[in-house]
Amino acid sequence: MKELRERVSYLQGLSEGLDVKGNTKEGRIINGIIEVLGDMVSSMDNLWEVHRELETYMEAIDEDLCELEGETLEDLECGDELEDMVEIACPKCREQVCFTSEVLEDDDVIEVTCPTCNEVVFINDGSFDLQPAVMGNDEDMEQGNRSNVVDI
């Protein structure tokens, strides 16, 4: 940006040095072009500053998200919530979708959607002909028992 501002300043100086008259047709055009170029450089400076602020903000969000993901994974690795989780394969993208077993008994109608493709994988209103199994304990998972995965 500094280079562009310097080049526009050079053109302004050149115009003044060449004694371009502002009252002639050509002088008004040249001065108008130089003025527009100056405005464009100012706008680009403003955009660059906003871009840097946005980049800093996004980096902070990314760091917070990584920290939150780490905390969530630590909770799941501890096994605190693992027994209360249900896992269903998405019919569209075949991605495994996990949710708490509380959804199965909830009085409100809840739709579970796949985070990858936004396909509805389960609704607790009885419209799905499946009984997703609750995930077993850590020993079952280590032994490779995956009978708790429900394919739709």
Total-model pTM: 0.42
Residues 89 and 145 in one domain: yes
CB 122 within 8 A of CB 132: yes
Which among 107, 91, 57, 90 is positioned nearest to 99, based on CA atoms? 90
Residues 7 and 72 in one domain: yes
**Counted domains in the chain:** 2
Residues 101 and 66 in one domain: no
- Residue 78's pLDDT is 56
10 Å CB burial of residue 121 (0-12, 13-18, 19+) is: buried
Q: Name the average pLDDT for the chain.
A: 78
Q: What is the residue whose two structure tokens read 């002909």?
A: 129
Domain boundary among 77, 105, 139: 77
Residue 92 belongs to what domain range?
82-151
Spatial distance between the Cα atoms of 110 and 42, rounded to a whole number of angstroms: 51
Residues 58 and 22 in one domain: yes
Residues 26-74: tens digit of each pLDDT: 888 988 999 999 999 999 999 999 999 999 999 999 999 988 888 777 6
For the segment 102-111, the average pLDDT, to the nearest whole number, is 79
| Percentage with pLDDT > 70 across the chain | 76
